[in-house]
Amino acid sequence: MTGFSAIDYAVLLLYLAGITVFGMLFRRSQRTVKDYFLGARNISWVVISLSIVATETSTLTLIGVPALAYSTFARPEQGGSYTYLQVVFGYVIARVIISLIFIPAYFQGELLTAYELLKRRFGVQTKNFAASLFLVMRALAEGVRVFAASLVLSAVLSVSLPSLPHLWLWSIVIVGTLTLVYTFEGGIAAVIWTDLIQLIIYIGGSLLAAYQLLHLVPGGWKEIAEQASAANKLQIFSFARDFDVPFTFWAGVFGGTFLTMASHGTDQLLVQRLLTCRNRRDSQKALVFSGIVVFFQFALFLTIGIMLFAYYKAFPLTSPLASNDEIFPAFIVTRLPHGVSGLVIAAIFAAAMSNLSGSLNSLSSTTVLDLYKPLFNPNASDGHLLKLSRWLTAAWGVVLIAVAVAARSWGSVFTTGLTIASLVYGPMLGAFLLGVLTRRASQRGVMAGMAVSLLFMLGVKFTTSLAWSWYVLAGTIVCSIVGYAVSLIMPAPAAARFDEVGKVI
């Protein structure tokens, strides 16, 4: 054991200070509320593509996916192997579908948020309903991610300051506050460029951890592969037809596709990235390329988890962990050389801050542009909206910190975060599909479909054993069927409609 040394603290503090100051430098370019939320639309699609990857890669991914592969389950379809890659196949397929269906609709006119598409198609009430659902879902899901990041800092502080009370609480406040500072100042431009730096750091740190594991396990990769094979951890495909296990081929391809269609096609957190592109073509390239990067990234994180499994077979833990989510941070802090440990912990913070900064900006943009301006102050000046946007970013930061504190008792951070998002994604995706793919859907029908779908999914969550990877597909089907049926009974008046490729007719 090496522990966290002064060198490690220096590396970590240098990163935290450097990324915060770098993000604050973008304040001078934020003159209007459009600049704050969309930038100047002059950033390369490659940078935006990598920003998409960094934004969807939270601490849940960086510590939760290795923990998933490290864990032992009764069946591989529950985790503990490469079977999660089946869900990632769905992530890639969905990006192609979004590029063909949603992105053309988003670039018809000057949209500043995803939910303005619903306003244009159905009306203000539908937009407000969807925007409100997003705010609740993103706040809860992101709070879980902030708590996940606090697990990392707690692992660091517990080595050096074991007597400090409430380490987890201090960790939450530190992570949330530092990210809030540069997001408050720099807007979306700061978010995108810090995302790029943070992606480089966390991928580099993860590769460094994998390299160290490869050399720390006696026998190297051969021993790792033998241990993994004996525990059935090298399995990728499972064609089981059980709906109560999350990682089957069917859940991955169908459930994963619908999950990503919702997260990347209707969630302001990621749609905001697509809207910052120069044009529709760049947006499509950025999204599809991000899928390729994401696939290899998940393969790396799962491999790290399997390596951790082999390592702790050779060198068993001396004290039990509160949960397997702590396995990767604990390894980094206690088993890596000085300097390397600080760099890899900084990498995990990079993933946490990247996702949190994007969430803060998207929460603020939806609050200001979808709710505050149209409902309370339609004649607000651009200067007023820009100032309000910054302070709402700060307010949402406080909310997320509070949710993170509550999330301590919610169970596995990885599963909890995805489950919360998936409950809401189905109703939202159903509404967007009705808007883009149908001509006869009405505002009453869509709102009825969303409401019934949300209630249905809450019932599924608390009364069935259906795996979370099916949630979005189930919610989308219910919303689409109910929404279209009610629309036929109560058709819309003469209003904007879309043809099959998303153009207003």
- For the stretch 443-462, pLDDT in tens is 999 999 999 999 999 999 99
Under the banding of pLDDT at 50, 70 and 90, the label for residue 228 is: very high
Percent pLDDT > 70 in the chain is 82
User: Of the ranges 136-140, 303-307, 402-406, which one carries the lowest mean pLDDT score?
Assistant: 402-406
Check whether 175 has a pLDDT greater than 80: no
CA dist 448 and 283 (Å) reads: 32
In whole angstroms, give the CA distance from residue 205 to residue 94: 28
**Which 3 state secondary structure label does DSSP give 498?**
strand
3-state secondary structure at position 504:
strand
User: Which residues lie below 8 Å from residue 124, measured CB to CB, with a gap of 6+?
Assistant: 374
Is 164 within the bounds of a domain? Answer: yes
Residue 442 lies in a domain: no
Higher pLDDT, 157 or 124: 124
Which among 92-96, 230-234, 330-334 has the top mean pLDDT?
Answer: 92-96
Which run of H or E residues covers position 158?
helix 124-160
DSSP secondary structure, 41-63, as one string: S-S-HHHHHHHHHHHH--HHHHH
| Residue 185: inside a domain | yes
How large a percentage of the chain has pLDDT more than 90?
33
Using left for φ > 0, alpha for ψ between -120 and 50, and beta otherwise, residue 220 falls in: left
Q: Cβ contacts of residue 361 below 8 Å, gap of 6+?
A: 37, 183, 187, 188, 191, 272, 393
Contacts 24+ apart (CB under 8 A), 402-407: 402/143, 403/139, 403/140, 403/142, 403/143, 403/144, 403/146, 404/143, 404/144, 404/145, 404/146, 404/147, 404/150, 404/172, 404/176, 405/147, 405/169, 405/172, 406/143, 407/143, 407/144, 407/146, 407/147
Using CA atoms, how far apart are residues 338 and 344, in angstroms rounded to an integer?
A: 11
| 96 CB-side CA count, 13 A | 6
Confidence of residue 499 (pLDDT cuts 50, 70, 90): very low
Give the 3-state DSSP-derived string for 253-318, with helices as H, strands as E and coil as C: HHHHHHHHHHHHHCCHHHHHHHHCCCCHHHHHHHHHHHHHHHHHHHHHHHHHHHHHHHHHHHCCCC
Asked if the structure places residue 250 within a domain, the reply is yes
C-beta of residue 302 within 8 angstroms of C-beta of residue 294: no
Rounded to the nearest 10 degrees, what angle do helices 471-489 and 443-463 cross at? 150
**Positive or negative, the Cα torsion across 352, 402, 184, 51?**
positive
| Contacts of 381 by beta carbon, 8 Å cutoff, 6+ apart | none
Count CA atoms closer than 13 A to 92's CA, side-chain side.
14
Spatial distance between the Cα atoms of 131 and 93, rounded to a whole number of angstroms: 26
Q: Where are the beta strands (DSSP E) in 49-180?
A: none
Phi/psi of residue 504, nearest 5 degrees: -70, 135
Q: What is the pLDDT of residues 288-329, one digit of tens each?
A: 999 999 999 999 999 999 999 999 999 988 777 777 878 888
Q: Is residue 29 part of a domain?
A: yes
Residue 351 token pair: 């993933």
What domain count does the chain have? 1
Element (H, E) at 102: helix 85-106
- Least trusted range by pLDDT, from 83-87, 140-144, 440-444, 461-465: 140-144
Position 160 pLDDT exceeds 50: yes
Q: pLDDT band at residue 184, thresholds of 50, 70 and 90?
A: low
- Three-state secondary-structure class, residue 203: helix
* 76 band by pLDDT with thresholds 50, 70 and 90: low
Is residue 107 over pLDDT 80?
A: yes
pLDDT per residue over 413-440, tens digit each? Answer: 666 777 888 899 999 999 999 999 998 8
DSSP H stretches of helix in 377-495: 382-406, 413-437, 443-463, 471-489
- Give the number of other Cβ atoms within 10 Å of residue 266's Cβ: 27
**Mean pLDDT over each residue of the chain, to the nearest integer:** 82
**What is the average per-residue pLDDT within 240-244?**
87
Range from 32-46, 67-81, 307-321, 350-364 that averages highest in pLDDT? 307-321
CATH at residue 16: 1.20.1730.10
pLDDT score of 271 more than 60: yes
Residue with tokens 């912990």: 345
**8 Å CB contact between 194 and 339:** no
Instruction: Note whether 37 and 272 are within 8 A (CB).
Output: yes
Instruction: Give the helix ranges, DSSP H, for 164-244.
Output: 167-216, 220-230
Confidence check: pLDDT of 1 > 80: no
What tokens does 249 get? Answer: 């081929």
Structure token pair of residue 175: 């992570």
The full DSSP string for 310-366 is HHHHHS--SS--SSGGGHHHHHHHHHSPTTHHHHHHHHHHHHHHHHHHHHHHHHHHI
424: number of CA atoms within 13 Å, CB side?
20
Of 283 and 139, more confident = 283
In a domain, 407, yes or no: yes
pLDDT at site 505: 39
Least confident of 157-161, 246-250, 295-299: 157-161
State if pTM tops 0.95.
no
**C-beta of residue 100 within 8 angstroms of C-beta of residue 433:** no
**Length of the chain, in residues:** 505
pLDDT, mean of residues 384-409: 81
In a domain, 439, yes or no: no
Decide which of 355 and 68 is more confident.
Answer: 68
Domain that includes residue 223, residue range? 6-412
Q: Name the β-bridge partners of 498.
A: 504
446: amino acid identity, one letter? V
Q: Is residue 432 part of a domain?
A: no
- Residue 350 has, within 13 A of its CA and on its CB side, a CA count of 30
